[in-house]
Amino acid sequence: MAASATVLASLIGSPALAAAAPVPSGTGLVLNAPIVGASAVANGHGYWLVGADGGVFAYGGADFYGSTAGLPLNSPIVSVDATPTGKGYWEVAADGGVFAFGDARFQGSMTSASLHSPIVGMTATSSGNGYWLVASDGGVFAFGDATYEGAATGMSPTSPIVGIATTTTSQGYWEVAANGSVYAFGNAPFYGTVPATAPVVGIDAAGGGYRVVSSDGGTYAYGGASFKGSLIGTHLNQPIVGTSSIVGGYIEVAADGGVFNFGTIAFYGSLGAGTLATPPAPRTPVVAPESDYGLTPSQIAAWERVSVCEESGNWHVNGSAFSGGLGMSHANWNQFNTFGFPANAANASKLQQIRVAVAFATHYFGSPDAAPDQHGCAGGY
């Protein structure tokens, strides 16, 4: 597979052949493993595809810098991410192994750790000197100049996390679950939950917002990310497995290497006419264990006392200005509910309300362990 990638890269990356050569396809090529992800060059003039065995296929202005194809991997590759310069990329495996090529720098990995859930994605900082890995249970692991801003661990107990994307300043990031729930951390604004008709498989940032794609090719744009089209209703030989964005466009890639371009990203070829030696197994949802949304027992106990004081322990009070068991104002609930919980606190569970209250306390009281005076019941927060 690595040899095939080298041949394709040398053909596609040559300006002299670009005009005369036909657009490369996978005709006659047998893939040893399904494609699992893609990453576009920042200027939109090329992209890389990566297979579960680590084979890399380079198109357009994206050069081939190496791959893990042929290496004895302990776990399959799950994602690829390009450096800001477009002169390198990282591959990440399900066990947290990170492999750097070109000008991508290795900043650490999770291979020596005991992971509760497999790694499913990665995203690099805008400087290229760091990156985050995300696991299917929402755990986030920061390396280099990437800073830890929080994690969705336990926030999506019935649907696995499938991807992560960072803001333009790299001071925050979004996580997305297979059911379309989006979780925002740091300076990442929460723009909404995705009404996908099929399992969500990826997220990428652009224009101050993010784009989310589902396995049927549905595309959903939020914030400053523009919508340029979707594959909904299109017959796909294999499901979509990933997406990659620039400000003016994006690509979506299928498990057989088919590439679909939208907006200002041009089409430079694909593996879509190739054959998978072993068709990808149907995706089996990884159900995260029941959780307390990362809350500590002392935080839960403190806010339970607030509830008794404010609303006599009734967690489903539905008022015109204040709702839920903590008597939180609708404005504060809307501001600090960046976790995809119900839009009205009265419809959220006790632990969901406490998780939002901890975010509120972190912002206004300076500590996630702070809580209002439980004896005076000042209310109105």
Comparing CA positions, the residue from 216, 275, 214, 221 lying closest to residue 248 is 221
- Using one digit for the tens of pLDDT, what is the confidence trace for 88-98? 999 999 999 99
Classify 297-364 by CATH class. Answer: mainly alpha
**Secondary structure class of 124 (helix, strand, coil):** strand
Q: Is 46 exposed, middle or buried (0-12, 13-18, 19+ CB in 10 A)?
A: buried
CB 215 within 8 A of CB 189: no
Q: What is the pLDDT of residue 153?
A: 87
Q: Could you give the C-alpha distances from 171 to 120, 146, 148, 288, in angstroms and in order?
A: 21, 8, 9, 27
pTM exceeds 0.75 for this model:
no
Q: What is the pLDDT of residue 122?
A: 97
Q: What is the pLDDT of residue 291?
A: 54
Query: How many distinct helices (H) and strands (E) make up the chain?
Result: 5, 22
- Using one digit for the tens of pLDDT, what is the confidence trace for 305-315? 888 888 888 89
In sequence order, the 6+-apart residues with CB closer than 8 A to the CB of 149 are 140, 171, 172, 173, 185, 186, 188
Q: What is the pLDDT of residue 115?
A: 85
Q: What is the pLDDT of residue 283?
A: 55
Q: What is the pLDDT of residue 374?
A: 56
Q: What is the pLDDT of residue 294?
A: 78
Check if 2-276 and 297-364 are the same fold. no
Q: Where are the domains of the chain?
A: 2-276, 297-364
Residues of the chain below pLDDT 50? 1-20, 285-290, 376, 379-380
Classify 2-276 by CATH class. Answer: mainly beta
Q: What is the pLDDT of residue 30?
A: 79
DSSP string, 229-288: ---TT---SS-EEEEEEETTEEEEEETT--EEEEETPPP---STTSEESSPPPPPPP-PP
Structure tokens at 161: 């996390």
